[in-house]
């Protein structure tokens, strides 16, 4: 149910088509015509559909970020709160279902805690207004992330001499999230009188945190077209990053619809100047809070 709710949210986004078409390329046309052999039969829908071009999708199924982001437009969709309510309902049903194994219920609880942490930390700490209390407390992350936005061009490419550390989700934040996730989970179990043990909680929190770190560092790197496929980039990264800056770039499969949705979602975060789409890996709270910007089609 959890996976179904998350994947359902991805259906809100559709990849736009290239406005430029080559000469002679036929478009998808729907027309009402009568069957040739039966003149008195009721009309039927005939769809003349030549093979559709794979706009903005590479041969391996991944999103071609640069040409996509150069043309993508976004709009605020506060009515997506319906999806946010479905997200909360699905997680609640999973966590409170006594027939579901306790370990899976704790993973669902950690997903809820981590997605909330990702949203809150990104929105109010990494985008804290200068001089505020949150800015003073989380200045290390705030300065780095704001600089990352400054270093990002309109087409998601990076300026020369950008800071690689602004791309990565570092280990300090991951460890912090394990502590927060475990604490939130324990509080929810006590507050809701859930029959769940505490001892697997840190393990579940660590697994979710590592999954988040791997996927963030993969998707965020890809979203800025910084795949480590050139010797120069690899050498530059190794010269500036240490193990404390986060897990290495792991080439997990992203040639599927859901990964492309996550990438378009993050492109939208930059397109609206950090005003929305704060969830990068674990969607849900953006929809619930009314800060979800949907791709215009």
**Distance between CA atoms of 285 and 291, rounded to whole angstroms?**
8
At residue 243, the pLDDT reads 62
| Phi and psi angles of residue 109, each rounded to the nearest 5 degrees, phi first | -65, -40
One digit per residue, the tens of pLDDT, for the chain of length 297 reads 444 444 454 444 444 444 444 444 444 333 333 444 444 544 444 444 333 345 788 888 888 888 888 888 999 987 888 999 999 999 999 999 999 999 999 999 999 999 998 999 999 999 998 889 998 999 988 998 999 999 999 899 999 888 888 888 877 788 888 888 899 889 989 988 988 999 999 999 999 998 998 898 889 988 988 875 444 555 555 555 666 677 777 888 888 889 999 999 999 999 999 999 999 999 999 999 999 999 886
Q: Where exactly are the structural domains of the chain? A: 2-6+55-295
**Distance between CA atoms of 88 and 13, rounded to whole angstroms?**
20
Q: Which residues pair with 31 in a beta bridge?
A: 46
Q: pTM of the entire structure? A: 0.75
Degrees, nearest 5: CA angle 148-209-238: 50
CB 284 within 8 A of CB 87: yes
The distance of Cα 260 from the centroid of its chain, to the nearest Å, equals 9
CB 278 within 8 A of CB 286: yes
At residue 50, the pLDDT reads 37
CB 297 within 8 A of CB 68: no
Mark 188-205 as b/e (b = at least 16 C-beta within 10 Å): ebeeeebebeeebbbebb
**Distance between CA atoms of 8 and 279, rounded to whole angstroms?**
16
Residue 285, token pair as written in the block: 């709270």
At residue 168, the pLDDT reads 83
Residue 100, token pair as written in the block: 């579901």
At residue 23, the pLDDT reads 44
């Amino acid at each position: 149910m959890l996976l179904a709710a998350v994947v359902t949210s991805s259906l809100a986004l559709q990849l736009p088509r290239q406005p430029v078409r080559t000469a002679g390329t036929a478009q998808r046309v729907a027309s009402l015509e009568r069957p040739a052999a039966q003149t008195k039969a009721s009309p039927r829908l005939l769809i003349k559909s030549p093979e559709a071009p794979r706009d903005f999708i590479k041969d391996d199924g991944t999103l071609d970020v640069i040409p996509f982001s150069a043309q993508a437009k976004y709009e605020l969709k506060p009515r997506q709160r319906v999806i946010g309510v479905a997200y909360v309902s699905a997680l609640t049903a999973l966590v409170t279902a006594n027939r579901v194994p306790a370990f899976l219920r704790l993973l669902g609880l950690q997903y809820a805690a981590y997605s909330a942490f990702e949203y809150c930390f990104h929105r109010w700490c990494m985008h804290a207004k200068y001089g505020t209390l949150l800015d003073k407390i989380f200045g290390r992350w705030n300065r780095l992330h704001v600089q990352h936005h400054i270093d990002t061009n309109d087409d998601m490419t990076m300026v020369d001499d950008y800071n690689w550390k602004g791309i990565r989700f570092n280990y300090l934040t991951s460890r912090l999230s394990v502590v927060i996730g475990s604490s939130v989970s324990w509080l929810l179990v006590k507050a809701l009188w859930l029959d769940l043990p505490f001892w697997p909680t840190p393990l579940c929190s660590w697994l979710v945190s590592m999954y988040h770190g791997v996927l963030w560092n993969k998707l965020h790197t890809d979203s800025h077209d910084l795949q480590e496929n050139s010797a120069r980039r690899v050498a530059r990264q190794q010269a500036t990053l240490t193990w404390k800056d986060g897990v290495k770039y792991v080439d997990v499969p992203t040639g599927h619809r859901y990964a492309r949705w996550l990438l378009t979602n993050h492109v939208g975060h930059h397109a609206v100047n950090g005003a929305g789409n704060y969830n990068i890996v674990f969607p849900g709270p953006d929809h619930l809070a009314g800060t979800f910007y949907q791709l215009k089609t």
